[in-house]
Amino acid sequence: MKKLTRRLLLQTAAVAGLVGATIAPQAASAADKLSIAVPGVPPVFSSVMVYTAKEGGFYEKYGLDVTVKPFNSGVAAARAVVSGAVDASLSPTAPVARMVSNAGVPLVALQGLEKPDWFIGSMDPKMNSCESLKGQAVGVDSPRGARWVQLQNMARPCKLVPDKDIPTVNLSSNVGAAMVAGQLTFGVLHLDDLPVIERESGKKLTIVSEIEKAAPGTHYLMFVSTKKNIAEKRDLLVRALAAQIEATAFMYDPTNAEKVGAYAKATGRSHSDATNAVKVFTDFQYWPNGHNGLNKARIEKTIAIQAGIGKRTKGKAGIDPEKGPVSVDALTDPSLWDEAQAMVKKMMK
């Protein structure tokens, strides 16, 4: 009788365990680990979406233990995804399109930041034209990294080419600091760099060129993973996207600006500067709020520019004409974001 009773108790516990796993899958997968690479050391401000999702507890809410790893550039971050060192990254659209087109790397975009905010700044008000860049050192992130590519785009109207007509200096995300220190006159910068450089240098920064004027309608950044990860870790990636959807909505609520400014400490900005930058970037509609950020027209234009550069340079830069450009459908998979959005709606009921 005792043996029978014990067997029934064990069977009941097993059934209860199965029911519990069915009812509360998030609790069962609370230890699921995911690693995300972000661009820049220290990270650029676009990564605040990821840091808000982490520090604000949104990844945890969806049963994820996320490690955020800064890389020297978004290109290096994308390469880390390809190598398997990390599961996903925030990486610039143009280099990702070039990598997929030229080398057939299995990167796929799941979410995006559509609007680039790049501009070329000058510490010398007399050096204020595209032509003034000729022969002058310009601060970028890395060879053919995001800043380098945008310098290429913004210098195209005056027919100047980086590392041919314009020497470049590789500084990851420390371009602004080098300009403040008087080490550089020119740099490729983000919007949040401008007030910091002006305050710390005591000088007015001159805008030489803006990406939306030099090459309007391009696409900025992608949250990418590999086809292998999508097949093997789809649930984790969907949950990460769900967390980022909630985190972004949180960021757009102006009453949360102080909290988001605190979450942004990894970028190296002071709390005050970061809080101010949150307003600048949400007004700019920088992070995708309520949509996946994979605007097809912007991505197509970005790919087309890289294809044109490849054609003009006979494959030495841009997309190799012998390889051919990747299509938007092959480069993106919006289905995971759709699943994540449905998950968020269900979670909030």
pLDDT, the chain, mean: 91
Residue 272 and residue 250 share a domain: yes
Residue 132 and residue 97 share a domain: no
Contact criterion met (CB below 8 Å) for 89 and 224: yes
Task: Assess if residue 188 is contained within a domain.
Answer: yes
Mean pLDDT of 88-116: 97
Residue 133 and residue 81 share a domain: no
Number of domains in the chain: 2
Q: Which of 108-112, 145-149, 296-300 has the lowest mean pLDDT?
A: 145-149
Residue 146 is part of a domain; what is its CATH number?
3.40.190.10
Output the six-digit token pair for 78: 């994308």
The domain of 132 spans 119-214
The residue among 165, 180, 214 that closes a domain is: 214
Q: Tell me whether residue 349 is exposed, middle or buried, using C-beta atoms within 10 angstroms of its C-beta: 0 to 12, 13 to 18, 19 or more.
A: exposed
Residue 178 and residue 287 share a domain: no
pLDDT in tens, 173-190: 999 999 999 999 999 999
- Which residue, among 90, 99, 94, has the nearest Cα to 45 in the 3D structure? 90
Task: Assess if residue 149 is contained within a domain.
Answer: yes
Output the six-digit token pair for 344: 């968020």
Q: What percent of the chain has pLDDT over 90?
A: 87
Residue 55 and residue 190 share a domain: no
Task: Assess if residue 84 is contained within a domain.
Answer: yes
pLDDT in tens, 8-59: 344 444 433 433 333 334 443 446 999 999 999 999 999 999 999 999 999 9
Reported pTM: 0.86
The residue among 194, 214, 234 that closes a domain is: 214
Task: Assess if residue 12 is contained within a domain.
Answer: no
